[in-house]
Amino acid sequence: MDTMITVENLTKRYGDYVALDDVSFTSKPGRVTGFLGPNGAGKSTTMRIIAGLTPATSGTATVCGSSYRDIHNPATEVGVLLDASAQHAGRTGAEILRLSAMTLGVGRTRVDEMLEMVSLTAEESRRRVRNYSLGMRQRLGIANALLGDPQILILDEPANGLDPAGIHWMRTLLRDYADRGGTVLLSSHLLHEIEIIADDLVVIGQGRIVAQGTKEELLAGNGTRVRSLDDDALLQAMTAAGIVARPVIEGGFLADVAPEDIGRLAARIQIPLVELRPGDGANLEQMFLDLTAATAREGSATQGAPQ
């Protein structure tokens, strides 16, 4: 069975606002895919479309080779946690899981197994969800997502509200799940955690994919770091020469060619360089800030827009 998540040319418009613009990526079995981007970049919208909650304007999103809405008993194939707060506040944790188990057609023993797996005690499971902390709601939401023993997990900010021990528990759980052949698509703003757990990265900014690949590929120090006394003129010259270069947060650019190519170009157009060296291996936070710098500067313009 195809246990991939496949997103192809996904576009979503709300009137004149383009929330997603031709987004394509895959999330593969046995791997954790980290889905990163600033607030308002389109992460939640993408995940809601994959989970059949929001219709796309155009493009497709499939899980297990089908649209989520076309899967007969979807929670037995795809576990979803998009908003841990959106659980019935008046019911107990155990009641919520038992109702889900009845809907899915799984036995009550599975409820007890899931409560134990997410470390909710018998006393806590009898407490009403309105009295749960956010971290407890996250644990309950993950138990619900795993109840049908799915092959795919889609989790939007699952570490919100978890303490350091809870985050470590989450990391171990998801790593074990992927190592057993499961597919994990995980969004988070906790970049350090993504850097530890993710195998593949998809970075989105202003509704467009700005980078994707394996973690090793994206964090490798490929290319050339260059800074000059006239960066605007240098960028114009690199663009005219067909060299792809992106601005970096400390100033200058990371270009996709060797240092000697940039050196020759700068000499030809007589722009003095103040920095020219092979690119460093980056950490995820630095890469994220570099890739989304333009989005962050324009973030105020997107406030209030759907995510």
Does 212 score more than 80 pLDDT?
Answer: yes
Q: Which residue has the tokens 């000059």?
A: 228
Which amino acid is located at 294 in the chain? A
* pLDDT over 60 (residue 299): no
Contacts of 160 (CB under 8 A, 6+ apart): 84, 134, 138
| CA distances, 64 to each of 70, 254, 264 (Å) | 10, 38, 50
- pLDDT recorded at residue 301: 39
For 170, the token pair is: 């989450």
The residue among 223 and 125 whose pLDDT is bigger is 125
Q: Which of 54-58, 179-183, 274-278 is predicted with the least confidence, judged by mean pLDDT?
A: 274-278
**Mean pLDDT highest for which of 24-33, 196-205, 257-266, 290-299?**
24-33
The pLDDT of 92-101, averaged and rounded, is 95
What are the pLDDT digits (tens) for 108-153?
A: 899 999 999 999 999 999 999 999 999 999 999 999 999 999 999 9
Q: Is the pLDDT of residue 303 over 60?
A: no
At 117 the pLDDT is: 92
Q: What is the spatial distance between Cα 196 and Cα 289, in angstroms, rounded to a whole number?
A: 18
Percent of the chain's residues with pLDDT above 90: 65
> Helix or strand or coil: residue 52?
coil
Pick from 39, 51, 47, 131: which is nearest to 93 by CA?
A: 131
The pLDDT value recorded for residue 228 is: 95
85 compared with 1, residue with greater pLDDT: 85
> Which is higher by pLDDT, 201 or 287?
201
Instruction: Find which of 53-57, 188-192, 288-292 is predicted with most confidence, using mean pLDDT.
Output: 53-57
Sign of CA dihedral 51, 158, 115, 99: negative
Q: Which of 61-65, 67-71, 154-158, 190-194 has the lowest mean pLDDT?
A: 190-194
Q: List residues bridging with 227 in a β-sheet.
A: 275
**pLDDT greater than 90 at residue 86:** no
What confidence category does residue 219 fall into, taking pLDDT thresholds of 50, 70 and 90?
A: confident
> What local confidence, expressed as pLDDT, does residue 281 receive?
60
* CA-based nearest residue to 225, from 203, 246, 239, 241: 246
Categorize the per-residue pLDDT at 302 as very low, low, confident or very high, splitting at 50, 70 and 90: very low
What is the reported pLDDT for 222?
62
Task: Examine the pLDDT at 279 and tell me if it is beyond 80.
Answer: no
pLDDT tens figures, 8-36? 999 999 999 999 999 999 999 999 999 99
> What's the chain's average pLDDT?
89
